[in-house]
Structure 1
Amino acid sequence: MSDRRDSREQLRRLQQVTDAALSKLGVEDLLQELLVRARELLHADSATVMLLDPTGTELIATAASGLEREVNLGIRVPVGRGFAGAVAARGQPVSIDHVDATTVVSPVLIDEHIASMLGVPMITAGQLIGVLYVGARTPRRFTPGDVELLQLVADRIAPATQARLHSLDRATAYALQRSLLPTRPPDIAGLELAVRYVPGAQVGVGGDWYDVFELPSGMIGVAVGDVAGNGLRAAVVMGRIRSALRAYALETDDPADVLTRLDYKIQRFEPGAMATAIYAVIAPSLDKITMSTAGHPPPMFATRGTSGRLLTVRANLPLGTHMSLPRTNTEVALPPGGTLLFYTDGLVERRARSIGEGLDRLAAAVTASHPDVLCATVMSTMLDDRPAPDDVALLALRRSVND
């Protein structure tokens, strides 16, 4: 009866602590508080959280109580290897009562003379996000009650950690993306420019970007692209792709060549990444623009007195598809007043309508007005003054009428 009362009291204390933590603490403090509580409840000498890395192949020591060296040393454990790797691979509790190089990957566990361990998976929304384990220096066998209690702690840690990490990921990705996108397009004689970017309300920040830059040859480079996926990784990959495109643009004025080099770079150094992009160069005389597309929607074009129309641009494969097909260019005349709108697919794609309907609606909204007015009109028309479900990037340019 006394043991039962003690267990109920422990669970009550755990509930109180976690409820308070969930509402008030940040990720680090939350994990630390719950790890201390887990040690107390299971009479363990150490407690550690290892979170799955973005590739899903390794566990990284993220927080610890009693074995802080694992975090300080940045211990990583491949999924499927050792004790923690086995918990992650099986998605089930694992306990061991013999700790040496044959059963664990982390040398800290051996150096600290951990004798017995119990680990459980951290799962939220059906997805594994990490492993929680405790260790004891005195040999012991963990009971089914111990397993149940530790799993309860993990079940409370997992969603709180995921929510906070998602929030941090989104905030970091947004800050990174905003730092990479030009705050305003450069002043270029004879050209009027405007840009817009809004993160998706449903998926958060993604890998959309725009860019405008002057080249040593006198050409003007214009790029718009979209990295597949969303969140911090998409924003990081976007930054690397954008920088690489700028570097290749300094070496050649041929848009198809720039995208060919960029594609090879992505295949070589960004495994698993895929992106669409359109890159164009405007002649120093501003009377023509040459562009190449990599699976990206063609721009809309309008001249004075005409409504918008979708340019016919030779289609090429997206970046990162691992198919080495020749890329091609399309050349378009740009008369005074000629207006181009580059955009990402978040502007025109909706679940409730076809892509064709979205493009028709966009074409009807495009005129040869000032780029700032055009961007405002397009955003209002296409989003119906509601938050964009997916992120959207726009770049509008017009050759000055009095050029």
Structure 2
Amino acid sequence: MSSDAGLDERLQVLEAVTDSALTSLGLDAVLVKLLEQVVGLLRVDTAAVLLVERGSDELVATAALGIEEEVWQGVRVRIGQGFAGQVVVRRRPVVLNRVDHSTVINPLLWEKGIRTMLGVPMVVRDEVLGVLHVGSLTPRRFTDTDTELLQLVGDRLALAVHAQLAIAERAATSALQRSLLPGRLPTVPDLEFAARYVPGASTGVGGDWYDVFELSGGRLGIAIGDVAGHGLTAAVIMGRVRSALRAYALDSADPGAVLSKLDRQASHFERGTMVTIGYAVVDPSVGELRLSLAGHLPPVLAVPDRPAAFVDVPVGPPVGFGLATGHRRSGSVELPPGGVIAFYTDGLVERRDKPLDDGLALLRESIITGAPEAVCARVMKAMVGMRPAQDDVALLVMRRTAARDHRAGAGSRFFSR
């Protein structure tokens, strides 16, 4: 059936199937449904889809008909090798008239008795997402019409895969982000907490996070951070950095030493990644914070009867910036009774149409002493208001409610912008 009339007929059948399948079925069901149609329309014996695995140079068997073992056995093919790997490299249809160990990496194909194969790339926005291939157990000649039809299916499958992967990645990123943010902030004497996290309107969930955890001696660790980038990759890196920071926090009471250890970890395991972090250790009994900043914007401190100001502590380069063997400095901040300190990520203050200093000035004006929940609401109203932030926003507010054994002579240190 290679005539124009035959092609038109088969295209009409295929389009009717794909139009309904792509709108009503999940990815797995779409793949199986279309493979069934391909086998019938092309009169072939096998059909399979191999998708490029994110972050690797391999294709993974994802759906198959007539050779389901490919999926059951988790077949992988390195890009550039074998039949499917060559389809990716060439980025065009490939016909294989001899199927054996010299032309195909996967032994299942020649053990199945396949004699002839046709494969097409699945491309979206100039990115090869995978390969669709069919096979015949008897010798045959795949025509231009066969190739055109299979490429059409490959194009439609690529769109379906791209859409489904995007949905799955957003869901996975959101679930991961929620699982890593504190479900409940600690309840401890003398301190109160409130927090906000909002994904960016244009970027979606990314690598912003905050954390509060208990340490020995009644102290608390407080972290705020932002992994460069967005999406699942940034969220995964954020999870690993968060876990490493917690582990190092158990070994040292000095925030600078903790971030120095994190530098070494990131330089080895997170190469090419940049993370801004603020990490503080607070002792509620004396109202003192020890704070170290790795490329992160300084928190804002508001105390009774004094304008809010940015905390003055040393700021080092971001984690992952190449400071693998350096020692980071820490600074001390006094938090008197009634004092409020706000940690945040840059999505709260950065706007494409305004200078950063404008955002920082507005944030400083919006921080006042009061209940942390009320402070969070005031800040979000001033900084976000009626227009959603384009980037992630993380905000953590802490207030000291009482004084015990307040250190004599301790002074607060600030700088203003």
Do Structure 1 and Structure 2 share a fold, with TM-score over 0.5? yes
The answer for unaligned runs of 5 or more in structure 1 is none
Shift of 1:18: 0.7
SS in 2 for 1:176: helix
Provide the C-alpha distance between the structure 2 equivalents of 1:37 and 1:176, rounded to a whole number of angstroms.
37
Check the 8 A contact 2:284/2:400 in 1, yes or no: no
Check the 8 A contact 1:191/1:400 in 2, yes or no: yes
TM-score where L is the length of structure 2: 0.91
Matches of residues 149-228 of structure 1 in structure 2 within 5 Å?
149-228=149-228
Provide the C-alpha distance between the structure 1 equivalents of 2:209 and 2:216, rounded to a whole number of angstroms.
23
Corresponding residue number in structure 1 for 2:407: none
TM-score where L is the length of structure 1: 0.94
Aligned partner of 1:344: which letter? T
Provide the C-alpha distance between the structure 2 equivalents of 1:273 and 1:157, rounded to a whole number of angstroms.
33
Provide the C-alpha distance between the structure 1 equivalents of 2:359 and 2:127, rounded to a whole number of angstroms.
34
Q: Percent identity?
A: 50
Corresponding residue number in structure 2 for 1:81: 81
SS in 2 for 1:129: strand
Corresponding residue number in structure 2 for 1:388: 389
Corresponding residue number in structure 2 for 1:30: 30
Change (3 A) 1:53 1:273: farther
Aligned partner of 2:166: which letter? H
Provide the C-alpha distance between the structure 1 equivalents of 2:96 and 2:322, rounded to a whole number of angstroms.
44
Shift of 1:30: 0.9
Which deviations, in whole Å up to 9, do the C-alpha atoms of 1:203-234 show, x marking residues without a partner?
22112111111101332100111222222232
Provide the C-alpha distance between the structure 1 equivalents of 2:2 and 2:63, rounded to a whole number of angstroms.
33
Shift of 1:341: 1.0
Provide the C-alpha distance between the structure 1 equivalents of 2:217 and 2:108, rounded to a whole number of angstroms.
58
Provide the C-alpha distance between the structure 1 equivalents of 2:220 and 2:210, rounded to a whole number of angstroms.
13
CA RMSD of aligned residues (A): 2.0
Change (3 A) 1:185 1:126: same
Provide the C-alpha distance between the structure 2 equivalents of 1:381 and 1:95, rounded to a whole number of angstroms.
62
Corresponding residue number in structure 1 for 2:357: 356
Provide the C-alpha distance between the structure 2 equivalents of 1:23 and 1:287, rounded to a whole number of angstroms.
58
SS in 2 for 1:131: strand
SS in 1 for 2:210: strand
Matches of residues 42-53 of structure 1 in structure 2 within 5 Å?
42-53=42-53
Shift of 1:401: 5.0
Corresponding residue number in structure 1 for 2:410: none
Which deviations, in whole Å up to 9, do the C-alpha atoms of 1:28-78 show, x marking residues without a partner?
111111121222222222222222222152222112222221111222222
Check the 8 A contact 2:117/2:133 in 1, yes or no: yes
Matches of residues 294-373 of structure 1 in structure 2 within 5 Å?
294-324=294-324, 325-373=326-374
Check the 8 A contact 1:346/1:392 in 2, yes or no: yes
Shift of 1:352: 1.7
Corresponding residue number in structure 2 for 1:379: 380
Corresponding residue number in structure 2 for 1:277: 277
Provide the C-alpha distance between the structure 2 equivalents of 1:44 and 1:274, rounded to a whole number of angstroms.
50
Corresponding residue number in structure 2 for 1:131: 131
Shift of 1:333: 1.6
Provide the C-alpha distance between the structure 2 equivalents of 1:79 and 1:356, rounded to a whole number of angstroms.
48
Check the 8 A contact 1:306/1:367 in 2, yes or no: no
Shift of 1:388: 2.7
Provide the C-alpha distance between the structure 2 equivalents of 1:2 and 1:392, rounded to a whole number of angstroms.
58
Which deviations, in whole Å up to 9, do the C-alpha atoms of 1:261-312 show, x marking residues without a partner?
2222223233443322111101242421111122222212211233432223
Which deviations, in whole Å up to 9, do the C-alpha atoms of 1:76-96 show, x marking residues without a partner?
222222222222223222222
Corresponding residue number in structure 1 for 2:59: 59
